[in-house]
Structure 1
């Protein structure tokens, strides 16, 4: 509901009954209180202090947020070496690729620090500590406080807490709401800004299976890449500099060669993005009937156009590989989520819990006063959906669709400076800001392809949205082009200066207001953003009530089931999940084993196919059975495995840790049969798909010959630590 403009966290609803050990994204700071006893019964040999401590090094110090939580990574050496997923590093790999050096196709391995590649803008954040600040944030606030007063008091208290936490240090602090604003926690981070690409397998390993295998099991994908964290010589965060040195972490994960078997303990630590387990039945219906269908319809059109262009040349494939991957990931996710929500009858189960909640509320006058309106407030917010549908389509077809219009808004500051008659210094400052983005944008941009996307997606918007919500440029398109979006866009793209780097640079050399005002692409961009503002005002009229309804509903649930251990929805803060390695039965007559091997990789080969083309060197190593120290007890090389850990987006790249605190895999996906998991966890089907760390090391060592990277790791086998000499990496 109100996905674009309602800046609140829309959380989900838990299943009834007791929480199983494999469900829940728990705060590591609360593991001692809530989880460690259960974990140890399952085989965990660690203490809570081994997992999270602010007094000495612990597992939390080896697990980091990439780019403030878009993915997770883990430290695997005393010299700042990071492991994450291939798809988490895909943008950087693509950015460094060219026809002459196609790292997407061929892979990349730095043999020395000097060969490692910088990535401006990429960050790594370490969690320093977590503190429950609920009492401070909600001081003077109760259920009778008006929403405006509540918001003001919370913002003021949060600001003061964050300010105090960052005085005299280089930390970042965020006060974040949990349980729909019923609790507040302070998270303090140290963020490093010099992160360099160290290694990546070719896409034929790192992205093996492509879109076909995405979200599916069995998998054979070597989904990993490697980066290194750098710091100033005194160990502090710093912008990229040749004087920077590899960061020496408080803790790095030892790597286990012992593997795992069915039923073995498995723990995942990482930064899951968003779950919605407390979402009401009304919210689930909206997701199924509005959000997902809009995304599926719009992205299917866009992806088909991008795919055609990518197939035209190696250069085109490099340009759009990352864009295509980002868009296709949640296109397929939306299809799977709707299928899963239907199959698991989630809406009916939500309604059943809501009926139980309503009955419980009715049994007490105090509860009626406090929680009586919660569900009706939520329900009312979903009754009128024309504006929401328009918002969803505007986002998918015009914000996430063609690139040109969003790019035009980069000139908004320059436009305002020219319009207001600002000083030449201010004008040139805005010119410099635009110029700094040009090379990066146009390197991966094809105007003819973008024009096709724009024309096709405007048709999608027009066909599915009430004309009352059309942006103003539709009037010109109707009058001059008889509603033909493709003809209209052909004219726009031929006349605009913003789709051509040479024309735009010439304009920036002598900027003037008239040229911007008359540019057709800029006019359309302003029309789109005006419409977004209008829709935002409509949507936000009831946002305060919606926030209140959700907060009261969750507070009531927690009071209704006092003996239950509740966990907060994911919000890009560090979480821990625990469970076991194991197989599953996705449907009648089918049982999936809990691991795959290189044999299955070979069996999937389709020579020349982008998704299933197997590298010749990998085949040579397979047929020679050259697995080195990385084979399992039967002599096979395992590629991937499944466990019942609770994960979601943002967990990509998270370490899968065994009972001794050693790295045994890297999480990279969930399974198709349980795509409902962000809203409703399904304990019999939900699986975390991970790449086996032995396959990762084998790829680095045997396939790539990058033994220098193996040498700086701490590798463990049969409880005997094998210390590698890192001197070679320091030469």
Structure 2
């Protein structure tokens, strides 16, 4: 019996984390070895090869990365793409005008020739991946500096990319995992002719705005539709009227049978970044230094932008996407501060690191791991104030167009001024296009105020060294007058001023231009690598890699998957309710209904207004085949999948691989999820596919889109 108990205890220690919680963002190529049996027990009915296969069609063929930052899925044989409204937001805003405001009013193409091409949009198909850890790591040693190591690895990465690109047909990315302890390459195929097919009005697609962002219960119709086009041979092609809808290898069938508590759910997508291996002092630095600066800078920019956006609809369209992005991260970072503090995440990590330190200082491991924790902690102590400074500076660069624009254009103008006549003629078209694009859409009073307010915040709050130029200006303490003055004196204050330089280039004028000097100083400070931190940084990078290596070798950490880094992953879990919430009208707190949408309705409110005719649809209960068994129209639902930013737009699939929803958010209670998974609180907020189809079919009468889909009702 004692022997049996020892076996059971040992088994308990080595069992995958996913048996006890639905934690993990997993590689598709490892599913059969690590996850498939567990997934089958939970309700998966597919084989591992039906999810990921190189030679045969599989689920992975229907999952695309959307414009580099979101996920989307292919839902028809003609290349129809489904993603979140907030993922398509920038393209919809770009295609909108005050006269034809698709963002405000929605848009539905009734035929292919009505589909709209934004200026720049692409989707990335995943072809295959493979492990090249042994090949790369055999070339480096622990005696190398991090720069030496990086140079050798980058050289080998270039070879791997060349070998697998098929003469440039494919994009190949070699990425480090487990802090550089493993390496994998990923092969992709990009399509750049992607057109808008349909989107609900902003009042539906962004219902609840900043108030409901990261909150449950939700009632948001967060989706948009696009289409991938190719040449006549199905190959990627730049936009052409001759291009045709892409005939895809595989598309997701859509199941409108609905979901219930404990139903299996899996999500495939491109999660952007997690920090589950982050050391304790890194978490502490974020909570006390980095994130508060980010939050403060974001809120300042939002307040300035909103003031001008509310006054003028054309300004609102110009800045809608930028504002939404800043607002999203503002709430995210504040939620991270609150959640990490509440759950004592740094202290939990310290306990793990104390265990590791004891293990690391045993004679067998001391030479390799003995100084790892002290080296890491020392680095964070040295960089706390710099972290705060950098995040105030990031706030300035993210929100102020003119903090970057003069430098970006000015570098090209320097080369232009130095060139001979023949070279200048060659450079003119490219510079003219850059100038034209840079000055295309902006509101000068808003830009001046954001720059002035962000400079004031940055110089007053940062305890780290400022650029010399701003140290001088700080004494004036009136950045409004300063910004007004430098705009008046700078050629970068207008498109015409920069274009005049092309006619009369003078390098002295450029080098003394006040906006160019300011922009150059800000970006130089942002890129600065202080000499005093170079050796500590080298030691930290090596120690962090050794920490992850040692945690895995010792078994002290039970994390079995690498951090997210915008590579295709799968997470699996179940439909799972949160405790009953009086704010939710639904019988079980794992979904919301159209009734809840109407209950939140506030006429003429920025966040909770609705098109007037939606109230009539509610009164008539005209839900058709999209109603649930109780006659309700489900809107959003909860699962306990493990996701993060980048999973926006990811398909939520049942055990048969059929589309049941669209992931679009997480819950504020588990905002620490990027650092530590909370098995009790972690939830994914999903858009029910029945609400999507009802909005397309019944509400918007875009039946041509419905006709493309493979719909299953069971």
Same fold (TM over 0.5): yes
SS at match of 1:39: helix
Q: Does 1:560 pair with 2:554?
A: yes
Q: 1:402 aligns with which of 400, 403, 408?
A: 400
Which residue of 2 is the match for residue 54 of structure 1?
54
Does 523-532 or 686-695 show the bigger shift? 523-532
Contact 1:39/1:578, CA 8 A, preserved across alignment = yes
Deviations 1:702-725 (A, max 9, x none): 11111101101111112xxxxxxx
Partner of 1:208: 207
Tell me which of 370, 373, 376 is aligned to 1:372.
370
Change (3 A) 1:713 1:617: same
Instruction: Output the CA distance in 1 between the equivalents of 2:559 and 2:467.
Output: 48
Q: 1:679 aligns with which of 670, 675, 682?
A: 675
TM-score by length of 2: 0.94
**Within the alignment, does 1:517 sit opposite 2:487 as a pair?**
no
Q: Is the 8 A contact 1:447 1:493 kept in 2?
A: no
- Give the distance between the partners of 2:67 and 2:426, measured in 1 at CA: 27
Q: CA deviation at 1:464?
A: 1.2
Query: Cα–Cα, structure 1 residues 429 and 599, in superposed 2: closer, same or farther, change >3 Å?
Result: farther
Structure 2: how far apart are the matches of 1:679 and 1:317? 35
Match of 1:635 in 2: 631
- Whether the 8 Å contact between 1:586 and 1:673 is mirrored in structure 2 is no
Distance apart, 1:636 and its partner CA: 0.6
**Residues 648 and 533 of structure 1: CA distance in aligned 2, closer, same or farther (over 3 Å):** closer
Structure 1 residue 478, shift from structure 2 partner: 5.0
Mapped partners of 2:549, 2:455: distance in 1:
43
1:690 maps to: 686
C-alpha distance in structure 1 between counterparts of 2:155 and 2:199, whole Å: 45
CA contact (8 A) 1:653 1:666 kept: yes
Local SS of the residue matching 1:469: coil
2:459·2:474 contact (CA, 8 Å) conserved in 1? no
Q: CA deviation at 1:660?
A: 0.8
Equivalent residue for 2:38? 38
1:625–1:509 Cα change, 3 Å: farther
Do the aligned partners of residues 533 and 341 (structure 1) sit closer, same or farther apart at CA in structure 2, a change above 3 Å counting? closer
Asked if 1:153 corresponds to 2:152, the answer is: yes
Q: Residue deviations 1:171-213, cap 9 Å, x none?
A: 1111110100111001110111111111110001000000100
Whether contact under 8 Å (2:580, 2:589) holds in the other structure is no
Structure 2 residue runs of 5 or longer lacking an equivalent are: 1-13
Residue 377 of structure 1 deviates from its aligned partner by 1.6
Q: State the 1:459 CA deviation.
A: 1.1
Alpha-carbon separation, structure 2, partners of 1:538 and 1:515: 35
RMSD (CA atoms):
2.2
Aligned to 1:254: 253
8 Å Cα contact 2:581-2:589 kept in structure 1: no
Are 1:457 and 2:451 counterparts? Answer: no
Secondary structure of the structure 1 residue equivalent to 2:367: helix
Provide the rounded CA distance (Å) in 1 between the counterparts of 2:640 and 2:484: 51
The question of whether the paired residues in 1 share the 8 Å contact of 2:285 and 2:387 is answered with no
**Contact in 2 for aligned 1:182/1:551 (Cα 8 Å):** yes
Match of 1:610 in 2: 606
CA distance in 2: counterparts of 1:551 and 1:503, whole angstroms: 50
Secondary structure, aligned partner of 1:675: helix
Shift of 1:413: 3.3
Moved more, 332-341 or 423-432: 423-432
Q: Distance in 2 between matches of 1:547 and 1:16?
A: 30
Task: Report the counterpart of residue 82 of structure 2 in structure 1.
Answer: 83
Q: Distance in 2 between matches of 1:474 and 1:563?
A: 45
> 1:258-286 CA distances to partner (integer Å, 9 max, x unpaired)?
01100000000000000000001010001
The offset of 1:494, in angstroms, is 2.8
Stretches of structure 1 that go unaligned for 5 or more consecutive residues are 1-14, 719-731
For residues 32-431 of structure 1, the aligned pairs below 5 Å read 32-68=32-68, 70-168=69-167, 170-363=169-362, 365-384=363-382, 385-397=384-396, 399-419=397-417, 421-431=418-428
The answer to whether residue 542 in structure 2 is matched with residue 543 in structure 1 is no
The 1-side partners of 2:567 and 2:49 are apart by 19
Offset of residue 16 of structure 1: 12
SS in 1 for 2:579: strand
TM-score with structure 1 length normalisation?
0.92
The answer on whether the counterparts of 2:352 and 2:557 sit within 8 Å (CA) in structure 1 is no
More off after superposition, 526-535 vs 52-61: 526-535
